[in-house]
Structure 1
């Protein structure tokens, strides 16, 4: 008997497959790292000024910051997944099964490692978490979109450090999310319909391919492959997690844009360019995003940002900050779509 996933295989496969990213002179790369670290330290102050979460912003400024390459980002995420699923996944019973699972995880992470600009991880390192900034991806995007490098690097750090402020303002939130996610994993791991789920996954791939030809796609909350493995009850539980993630991502998107042109002169151009890129263009890119749930990630940003803007328009950032006071004040999936309902429930 062994673990369900060979985590070291996942690390090696992701590191071996991850493309190195754009080239730069030694001086240029040193400057990139220095600017990202400096921006990460400065960003919480701006987040605190916008949100009113000053004490949380001070705590976020002390979060460890790691400027990493793509293989190291993948390795950090393997650590996070291993931490989140520890003791839940059934042990591998067939020879080589754990290695194959590790290989598959490594392939997926190698693909995602080229997409992620930054990530706040509140789970692996414990309070106050850790911030990962993926230097080659930041460099690639600012070159591809011809963006002001100083503005864009700060913009990225504002988003990720907003997450650090969120978890500092709500010290209970990491455990709340961990419990919800582990509950879903536990239910899937204990299920006895693995073959039926695999058949659904195969159908999901076919449906996703069909969606590229303009046919309707039924998967709404996550990637086609993820959704295929969830039954109705598990999807409802995942819906609670998605609602919280929508809030977190949308809140970070709103905050990073509210810093405004006084601090980031090109912020509006960055947002316009970045939104176009988020939508993707090529069929392989669209297929990958739909299978892995990256379409859902984009929807989280947009739905959550709409919720945050509507709530702030009604009750200000101080009123929105009620979400950080307890799990009972988190918005449901229905309230993400109907911000007035959340305002009525929480503020009367």
Structure 2
């Protein structure tokens, strides 16, 4: 890790756009230890077993038909950056296309901000189901950031294989959602693109952003529901320790999480899970899975707080 190389990459940002994405990647990598990726054959096999078992258990519990992504990778932090910097660039493209003359100072500041965000996420992401939104083609992928999983398991004083398996169940639950809802990537992409285009034009499309937030709340909440019911072991202590760890972060980390919208994601987890728990208690998990039949069966923002209204409308 070299903060000097990181600063040099940022201050050397060049190009015509508001962000130099090559410099973002270089600066973030220079400021971030890649982490240990020295796996033996047994550990690699264990990851594969966790993913396959999660698929089979979730298929049985949720009655969803889906396939695992073709790409399943065990990564270090630099690998995760390589996979995600392109996503950052795709998402920001509409804003960049509206940019006129960008002073060098502004480009440096923008590049530095994005490098900080990428580095922070790379140090904290445990696993990721990536539908590759806004990318060409219909690929999707599943990533596990091993250095972060081992570090967090150690900091929480929990068994690493058990914690790793729990993360696998969560990410495969996301694969199940997108597999059951082939319309979902396009729905999220169009909502995201239109919201960003409005931002690029200097306005905020609150309705579009609200729809996107509602959809993501359903995505996160359903994954929590399925993960809890499919996981073949005790997990209450894992969830409690993770929540305690989040609350115990320092003020700088809390600020960065707020800026990056990670505190909102936690609210999506909780609100979405409350919705689906109520639906299942009132009916069953198969009925909860009807949320993925079409965009029209997604809950509205009001229905997220009134699950019985969704049941009355859909079921």
Structure 2 counterpart of 1:304 = 272
Instruction: Kindly indicate whether residue 110 of structure 2 is the aligned counterpart of residue 108 of structure 1.
Output: no
Residue 170 of structure 1 aligns with which residue? 181
Partner of 1:188: 199
1:60-107 superposed Cα distances (whole Å, 9 cap, x missing partner): x24311111112212322111223444553245124344542332111
- Using the alignment, how far apart are the partners of 1:16 and 1:36 within structure 2? 28
Counting only pairs closer than 5 Å after superposition, residues 70-219 of structure 1 correspond to structure 2 as: 70-87=77-94, 89=96, 90-96=98-104, 97-122=106-131, 123=133, 124=135, 126-191=137-202
Corresponding residue pairs, total: 297
> Which secondary structure state, in structure 1, belongs to the residue aligned with residue 123 of structure 2?
coil
Shift of 1:27: 5.4
Q: How does 1:2-17 map to 2 (within 5 A)?
A: 2-17=16-31
SS of 1:187's equivalent? helix
Q: Which piece of structure 1 moves more, 66-75 or 123-132?
A: 123-132
- 2:17 partner SS: coil
Identify which range, 92-101 or 135-144, moves more after superposition: 92-101
CA deviation map 1:235-294 (0-9, x unaligned)? 33212111111111111112222125xx22x42322222222233343333222223222
> Structure 2 vs 1, CA of residues 27 and 236 (structure 1 numbering), >3 Å: closer, same or farther?
closer
Q: Would you say the 8 A contact 2:16–2:102 is kept in 1?
A: no
Q: How far did residue 320 of structure 1 move? A: 1.3
| Structure 1: 5+ residue stretches without partners | 192-229
- Hey, what's the Cα distance between the residues in 2 that align with 1:328 and 1:27? 45
SS in 2 for 1:321: helix
Residue aligning to 1:67: 74
8 Å CA contact 2:187–2:295 kept in 1: the answer is: yes
Consecutive unaligned residues of structure 2, counting only runs of 5 or more, are: 1-14
Residue 244 of structure 1 aligns with which residue?
A: 215
Could you state the TM-score of these two structures normalised by the residue count of structure 1? 0.78
Instruction: Please give the root-mean-square deviation of Cα atoms over the aligned residues, in Å.
Output: 2.3
Q: Name the CA distance, whole Å, in 2 between partners of 1:125 and 1:69.
A: 25
Provide the C-alpha distance between the structure 2 equivalents of 1:27 and 1:321, rounded to a whole number of angstroms. Answer: 37
TM-score by length of 2: 0.86
